[in-house]
């Protein structure tokens, strides 16, 4: 079965995010002054083959934990879906 994963990597809450702060200033300059707590993260998606949905989640966890995110400073969440042929 073919699967599609969407992984979101974010800086841990305890870690200062200067990039998020800079973006926040930009948003304020746009005039949206009520916007706060801006954090910048990463979005990664990929396709892969797995036997079952459980296997697919397992693979995605491993890829995220070992490479896509560094647990010292980042958290990750992901969504795994079956990839249907020819649909989009």
Partner 1 sequence: MSRIKIGVVVFPGSNCDHDAHYVASTILRQDAQLLWHKDGSVGDVDVVILPGGFSYGDYLRCGAIARFSPIMKDVIRFAKNGGVVIGICNGFQILTEAGLLPGVLLRNKSLRFICRTVPLRVETTATRFTNKCTKGEVLRIPIAHGDGNYFADDDTLQQLEDNGQIVFRYCDEHGNVTPEANPNGSRNNIAGIVNDQGNVLGMMPHPERASDSILRLTDGLKVFYSVLESFGISVPNTTVVSE
Binding site for partner 1 (CB under 8 A): 14-16, 18-19, 22, 42, 67-68, 70, 72-73
- Closest distance between partner 1 and the C-beta of residue 54, in Å? 25
Can you say whether the dihedral through the CA atoms of 50, 56, 59, 63 is positive or negative? positive
Residue that has been written with the tokens 């990839």 in this structure: 83
Nearest CB to partner 1, comparing residues 30 and 67: 67
Q: How far is the CB of 57 from partner 1 (least distance, A)?
A: 21
Q: Quick one: tokens of 28?
A: 């304020």
Q: Which two tokens stand for residue 44?
A: 């990664």
When the beta carbons of 2 and 42 are compared against partner 1, the nearer one is: 42
Rounded Cα distance between 82 and 76, Å, is 20
Q: Which CB, 14 or 33, lies closer to partner 1? A: 14
């Amino acid at each position: 079965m073919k699967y599609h994963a969407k992984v979101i990597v974010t800086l841990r809450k305890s870690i200062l995010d200067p990039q998020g702060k800079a973006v926040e200033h930009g948003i304020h300059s746009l005039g949206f002054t009520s916007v706060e707590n801006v954090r910048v993260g990463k979005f990664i998606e990929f396709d892969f083959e797995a036997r079952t949905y459980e296997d697919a989640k397992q693979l995605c966890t491993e890829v995220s934990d070992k490479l896509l995110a560094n647990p010292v400073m980042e958290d990750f969440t992901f969504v795994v879906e079956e990839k249907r042929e020819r649909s989009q």
